[in-house]
A = this chain, B = another copy of it.
Amino acid sequence: MKIPSPSIPRISLYYRVLLSLKDKDIISSQELSELTGCSAAQVRKDLAYFGQFGRPGSGYNVEVLKTELKNILGIDKDWDVALIGAGNLGSALLAYKGFRGQGFNIKYVFDNDRKKIGKLKQGIKVRDILELKKATKQIGINLAVVAVPQEAAQEVIDELVLSGIKAILNFAPIRPRVSEDIKVLNIDLSTELERLSYFLQRRKV
């Protein structure tokens, strides 16, 4: 069955909300609706794409649903992540505790700056970016976070793809060209700010 792509971030959201629940065994789509801002029908539909998790008349078992959503999102197991770029943003990402808590372990850090290579950052050795190809092939990492300057991004991403990486979270303000079977998500701060700027400007009109 074809699953609408907007459903996936919503599943993440439901999962986040479930995690924050205390002393609650059962939850209804109505309650989930109020906690997430999505319509109750949307909640039921999103969940129904993946199976029949609820019981008519009562609702969803919170523990069961948490387990199911973890399976759906693929976070029932841990993922090893490579981080490219140990500058300001890269360091901030490295320090962000949310990753490890969610099962994303930044296992390798690469940079091209001689001053950084060999040093430890958050207990992880910064490696020369030239080792990239070898390292990912050896260990079979298939998830990478790219936090390098715009000029270097396409080149780094090409190298990552050659190394067998299949999914990339890209913070550089470009839309990289990759082959069909690679998934790239772009987080572009300038674009987001421009969306807000657009909103602010239109607001008065």
Contacts and interface: CB of A to CB of B under 8 A. Distances in A.
Interface of A: 8-9, 11-13, 15-16, 36-37, 72-75, 79, 81, 88-89, 91-93, 95-96, 98-99, 102, 104, 142-143, 166-169, 173-175, 177, 181, 183, 185, 187-203
Describe A's contact surface by its main secondary structure: helix
Contacts of A183: 196, 199-200
Contacts of A15: 194
Contact of A88 (B96, B166, B202): B96
Contacts of A142: 200
A94 B167 CA distance: 28
A15 B73 CA distance: 34
B177 A37 contact: yes
Given A95-B88, A201-B74, A169 B191 contact: no
A202 B16 CA distance: 21
Contacts of A167: 196-197, 199-200
Contact of A200 (B166, B173, B174, B198): B166
Contacts of A104: 193, 197
B143 A189 contact: no
A36 B185 CA distance: 15
A81 B185 CA distance: 26
